[in-house]
Chain A
Amino acid sequence: MSVGTDSRTAKWIVNGLLVAGTVLTLLPLAWMLSASFMQPGEASHTPPPLLPAHATLANYRELFLRAGMGRYLLNSFLIAGAITLASLAFNLSAGYAFAKLRFAGRDRLFQIVLAALLVPLQVAMMPLFLLMKWLHLINSYGGVIVPALATALGIYLVRQYARSIPTDLIDAARIDGAGEWTIFLRIVLPLLRPMIVTLAVLTFLASWNDFMWPLIVLSDQAWQTAPVALAGLSREHVQDNELMMAGSVVTILPVLLLFLLLQRQYLQGLLLGSVKG
């Protein structure tokens, strides 16, 4: 039957293209992993080898013992972790208040938050640098953490989500004599849980991967995050491809694992965030 063979061919084409796309997409990452286990100089051959002849951990040893990658990864973990926790606190309380509490000037203030969504970060960078210098926060974790403590997008996402919380629930608690903080911590936060996870993953990944601002604020190597240090190392070690691949592996691995673990929440957040336009 022509219809049957037609749909079988279509099935082959669709799945063939998908597999080809997936292989092509993953190939650079797979090659990075493979080359990170190669002997120094091994990757610089024609034709380029796909797998290490004798797998070695030498590059990782060099990376942590000589290039100080452990310190940079720790910096990244502390900065991204602090930003995630603190910005959750700031954005959740503000987003909830904008959604559920009545106060003078609420709607006008929220309009300003929406307008802040449109402010390009790069425009603010030069004065922000001067402000940070004045606050003595250059070359410190604070220089990266403080400006990221609250985001317009975070407040917006929490507000949209918190609007679905039944007002009756909050009013009932109030009649029972619960204070506003108790209501927020005991009743609202548990209901916001899916949003909290989503926001946490989005924030952690964005802060871990952030490059331009940490590059500007953290010129002193001791405080640099993994991406900034890696960019510096890659300029020093242009020839040491295997070493640099190991550096890329340890920089990417934490965020890739986090994404794989919390994929559903992350993609959900991405869809919510993109609707802001």
Chain B
Amino acid sequence: MSTQRAAWTFVAPALFVLGVFLVLPACAALLLSLTDFDIYALASSDNLRFVGLGNYRDVLTTPLFWKALANTVWFVALALPLSLATSLGAALLLNSPLARFKGLHRTALFAPVVTTVVAVAIIWRYLFHTRYGLINHALGFIGISPVDWLGDPHWAMPALVLFAVWKNFGYNMIILLAGLQAIPQDLYEAARIDGASRWRRFWHITLPGLRPVLLLVAVITLAGYFQLFAEPYVMTRGDPLQSTVSVLYLMYEEGFRWWNLGRACAIAFLLFALILVVTRVLLRFVRARDETV
């Protein structure tokens, strides 16, 4: 009997915090998204009205929402494959029996992951500077004329992508490295004896062996990249010409700059519905391919 009571005192504080500060607000957000909660309601709840799906209709007919959505999808479409390729490349190099000073390289390649995104965004904002930035300077050596990275609507998002890849690739690198080390060595031995080339070994042993890990990493990264916020907040403030306004940035502006908390909740739900759908489709697509193979 006393074990029962002790157990409850052990779990109660944590469950209370999760319930009150996470689950309850998430449920309340659904209700809030059905109201016209704005700065007047913030002053007095008398000004609060139920508007049904009005916020969703408003958001879905606002051109800036579609622009933010297109920007975010563009960011994910560029950053996801580039990140995965960089992480996989780095993991393969670190896993190579020929590599030396592995620990040192691993630490260095992982370092950007633990850095504060705001602080490193400030560095990159400077590296991308049209006149004084090291990136344009380096491009000058191979004869490419200066790019106005953060001032040109075509280049601002690719610049954020480069920054995000640098900042994040180490995380997936570590997970993929663990995945590589779990592939049985005798498979490679057997293939080598059969005379399979390096490329064929990679294609027929490494990639299939990594499949579940790659899928996991892709889903985690995808969900993370859809939540793009700090990078545009620090580096571009959504500019130039709103080309780097992300969905979450729009939610932040709507909610905490203009205090339209109802609309902000609607934007948040739309974003997470989208993430859910995209990850589901990705998983189903992969499983469907598995069955046909």
Contact = CB atoms under 8 A, between A and B. Distances in A.
Interface in B128-157: 131-134, 137
B10 A101 contact: yes
Interface residues of B, number: 85
Contacts of A149: 13-14, 17, 21
Contacts of A131: 20-21, 24-25
Q: Which of A152, A228, A252, A260 has the most C-beta atoms of chain B within 10 angstroms of its own C-beta?
A: A252
B114 A256 contact: yes
Contacts of B133: 48
B118 A103 contact: no
Nearest to A209: B116
Contacts, number: 270
A267 interface: yes
Contact of B23 (A22, A119, A248): A119
Contacts of B241: none
Contacts of A104: 4
Given A97-B11, A120-B268, A29 B251 contact: no
A17 B95 CA distance: 13
Contacts of A97: 7, 10-11
B115 to A, nearest CB: 5
A104 to B, nearest CB: 7
A274 B176 CA distance: 11
A91 interface: yes
Contact of A125 (B8, B14, B123, B268): B268
Contacts of A129: 255-256, 261
A146 interface: yes
Interface string B1-28: 0111011101101110110111111101
B77 interface: no
A173 B194 CA distance: 58
B58 to A, nearest CB: 16
Contacts of A147: 17, 21-22
Nearest to A13: B98
A199 interface: no
Contacts of B13: 89-90, 93-94, 149-150
B132 A48 contact: yes
A212 to B, nearest CB: 6
Contacts of B216: 274-275, 277
Interface in B81-115: 90, 93-94, 96, 98-101, 104-105, 107-112, 114-115
Q: Which of A126, A226, A252 has the most C-beta atoms of chain B within 10 angstroms of its own C-beta?
A: A126
A231 to B, nearest CB: 5
Nearest to A98: B11
Interface stretch (B60-68, B203-211, B227-235): B227-235
Nearest to A49: B132
B178 interface: yes
Interface stretch (A39-47, A51-59, A60-68, A190-198): A39-47
A96 interface: yes
Contacts of A121: 22
A109 B15 contact: yes
Given A15-B99, A212-B230, A244 B122 contact: yes
A179 B123 CA distance: 54
A270 B175 contact: yes
A273 to B, nearest CB: 10
A4 interface: no
Contacts of B6: 101, 179-181
Given A29-B123, A124-B25, A147-B17, 18 more contacts: A7-B98, A22-B109, A29-B120, A31-B134, A47-B137, A48-B137, A90-B13, A93-B14, A113-B18, A123-B265, A126-B264, A130-B261, A146-B17, A155-B14, A227-B117, A231-B118, A248-B119, A260-B107
25 contacts: A18-B94, A18-B101, A25-B112, A29-B120, A46-B131, A46-B137, A48-B137, A103-B11, A122-B271, A125-B255, A125-B268, A126-B268, A127-B28, A149-B17, A150-B13, A150-B18, A180-B7, A209-B117, A211-B117, A211-B233, A212-B229, A241-B132, A244-B126, A267-B110, A277-B216
Interface of B: 2-4, 6-8, 10-11, 13-15, 17-18, 20-26, 28-29, 32, 90, 93-94, 96, 98-101, 104-105, 107-112, 114-120, 122-127, 131-134, 137, 166, 170-171, 174-175, 178, 216-217, 219-220, 227, 229-230, 233-234, 248, 251-252, 255-256, 261, 264-265, 268-269, 271-272, 275
